[in-house]
Amino acid sequence: MDLDFSEDEIRRYSRHILLQEVGGIGQAKLKAAKVLVVGAGGLGSPLALYLAAAGVGVIGIVDDDHVELSNLQRQIAHTTARIGVAKATSAAEAALAINPEVRINTYPYRLTAANAIGLISRYDLVCDGTDNFDTRFLVADACALAKRTLVSAAVLRFEGQLSTFKPHEGGPCYRCLYPEPPPPGVVPTCSEAGVLGAVTGVMGTLQATEVLKEILGVGDSMSGRLLVWDALATRFRTVKLRPDPGCALCGPEATIRDLSAHAETSGPVCAV
C-alpha cells in the first residue's frame, strides 16, 4: 500500500489520520479505493462531495440528466449558474473544487443492461442514489452479478431508508428485500410525492459514511440490516434482513444470471 502522502495531503486529511480507526493506513485505503456513484441528485450530491473530501482516489459519477431549477432545493452539488449543465459534470466540478487530489470519471449517459456490468466492474464499490425502480433493480442485479458491494439509500417525503448489500459475502441482496419492482404507479417517486430537501442530505451523508466504513473495514456493516428514518418523528429504527433462500438473484436456485430482463425496461438514471 502506498503510504507516500505529500505534506498538503497530510494536512488535508489530518482529522482522519488522527482517528485510530483510520490513520495513515486507512487514508491510503481511501486513496486506493474506486467508488461508483449512480445518480448525481439529492443523494448523489452529498455522496460525491463527502467521498471527494475524504480522499477516495477514484470516483465515478453516472447521470444522464441536466441540472434544472427544481433540483436545487436538495441537490447541493449543483448551482443556479450550472442550470442546463450535465449533472455528472456539475457534480464533478463541485467535488473537484473541494479536493483536486482525487480523480473523477464522469459518465453523462444512461446506465443500461448493455453497459452496467462493464462500468460497475471497474469500481470496488457502488452507491445507488437513483429515484426509479428500473434503475434500482438494474444496479442491484449488476452489483450482485459483478460481486460488488452496494450501499443503497432511498428517500420519499419525510422518510429515508438505507442498507448495504453484499450477497457475495453471504448477506442478503436487494431482491431478498424487494423481489420484484412494484407495478408502475403503485409507489410514487419524489417528483410525484415530494421530499424535504434536507432528508436527502442526511441519507446521502449516511450513505457516504457507510461507503467509507466499508472501504476502511471498520465498525458494523449495514449488510443484513435496514435503517429506516422517520424525519417527522425524528426516529431511527433498524430492521434485521436475512438472505431469502428463494431469492431469484442470490438464492441457491437463482434464475437471474444476466441482465437480459432489463434490456427493454432500463429507464434513465433519474436521480432523487
Regarding 175 and contact with Zn ion (CB under 5 A), the answer is: yes
**Min CB(248)–Zn ion separation in Å:** 8
**Min CB(16)–Zn ion separation in Å:** 34
Regarding 166 and contact with Zn ion (CB under 5 A), the answer is: no
Q: Are 24 and 51 in contact (CB under 8 A)?
A: no
Binding residue (CB under 5 A) for Zn ion from 37, 88, 176, 202:
176
Which of helix, strand or coil describes residue 101?
coil
**Min CB(161)–Zn ion separation in Å:** 17
Please classify residue 21 by burial: count the beta carbons closer than 10 Å to its beta carbon, then call 0-12 exposed, 13-18 middle and 19+ buried: exposed
Regarding 16 and contact with Zn ion (CB under 5 A), the answer is: no
Half-sphere exposure of 245 (CA within 13 A, CB side): 0
**Min CB(173)–Zn ion separation in Å:** 3
- Displacement of CA 138 from its chain's centroid (Å): 13
Regarding 222 and contact with Zn ion (CB under 5 A), the answer is: no
Binding residue (CB under 5 A) for Zn ion from 37, 58, 104, 173:
173
Regarding 74 and contact with Zn ion (CB under 5 A), the answer is: no
Regarding 250 and contact with Zn ion (CB under 5 A), the answer is: yes
Regarding 162 and contact with Zn ion (CB under 5 A), the answer is: no
Measure the CA–CA gap between 244 and 223, rounded to whole angstroms. Answer: 14
Binding residue (CB under 5 A) for Zn ion from 247, 256, 259, 272:
247
Q: Are 131 and 63 in contact (CB under 8 A)?
A: no
Size, binding site for Zn ion by CB under 5 A: 6
How many Cβ atoms are within 10 Å of 262's Cβ, its own excluded? 21
Cell 437480459 locates to 260
The CA–CA distances, whole Å, from 228 to 212, 222, 252 equal 20, 12, 29
Under the rule (CB under 5 A), what is the footprint of Zn ion? 173, 175-176, 247, 249-250
